[in-house]
Amino acid sequence: MNIVITGASRGIGKAIAEVFATEGNHLFICARNGEVLNDTAAGIRKSNPLSTINTFTADLSLKTEAIQFAEWCLTRVVPDILINNAGQYIAGDILDEPEGSLEKMMETNLYSAYYITRKLVPVMIKNGSGHIFNICSIAALQAYEGGGGYSISKYALKGFSQNLRNELKEHGIKVTAIFPGAVMTDTWGDFDNSSNRIMEAKDIAQMVLGATKLSRQAVVEDIIIRPQLGDL
């Protein structure tokens, strides 16, 4: 299958790319940092010689670059699966977060998914199949301290997912929203996870992969996954 993944150089996106590569799929991945992206691709290729890894460097917070990435994909393949994972987190409450934080997070967390999906979905519709995953967050389910603009952007991505699901179900295209709790990624910096308090990125990747294994007549609409001991 042909898998398109945004924000795939590290964290959840990288883990998703790795798990799909183990099954010999063809990956089309992008990230803002080209050096890190290429290192990630090289590692995946080495471990999964039967999978092909194609890379594109882009800052998906910019509409032009998000569209360029989607158009690049279309010149090469008809996507079977689109995983909108690119995201940005800027800590702060609504009243004290840095000026411009909401705009930056909306551009990365919502608009990138919106523009890329709009470009890729028509070929999925023509093909009569496809699966779109939007990596939301538990921040899209409930407010929490320090998550002002981030939570707003993820609530918006949740709404985007629900509208897509309604619009695309008659075209044979599945839409799944993923709501992870705390996952050990760069966002957590030097957090000591030696006690396995929070989840691993591969936990989310396995859930995404599993959702693609169902029959054509079944779809997992929402996946909520949290640490066993609950949210931090």
Structural domains in the chain plus CATH codes? 2-225 (3.40.50.720)
Residue 232: what pLDDT?
Answer: 80
Region class of 219: left (phi > 0), else alpha (psi between -120 and 50), else beta: beta
pTM of the model: 0.95
Q: What pLDDT does 40 receive?
A: 97
Q: Which two tokens stand for residue 117?
A: 């999906």
Token pair of 181, please?
Answer: 């709790």
How many whole angstroms separate alpha carbon 90 and alpha carbon 190? 17
Provide the pLDDT for residue 184: 83
Q: Facing residues of 26 across strands? A: 2, 52
pLDDT given at position 231 = 86
Q: Give the pLDDT of the chain (232 residues) as one tens digit per residue.
A: 999 999 999 999 999 999 999 999 999 999 999 999 999 999 999 999 999 999 999 999 999 999 999 999 999 999 999 999 999 999 999 999 999 999 999 999 999 999 999 999 999 999 999 999 999 999 999 988 889 999 999 999 999 999 999 999 999 999 999 999 989 887 777 788 888 888 999 999 999 999 999 999 999 999 999 999 998 8
201: nearest Cα among 70, 67, 5: 5
Cα–Cα distance, 189 to 186 (Å, whole number):
5
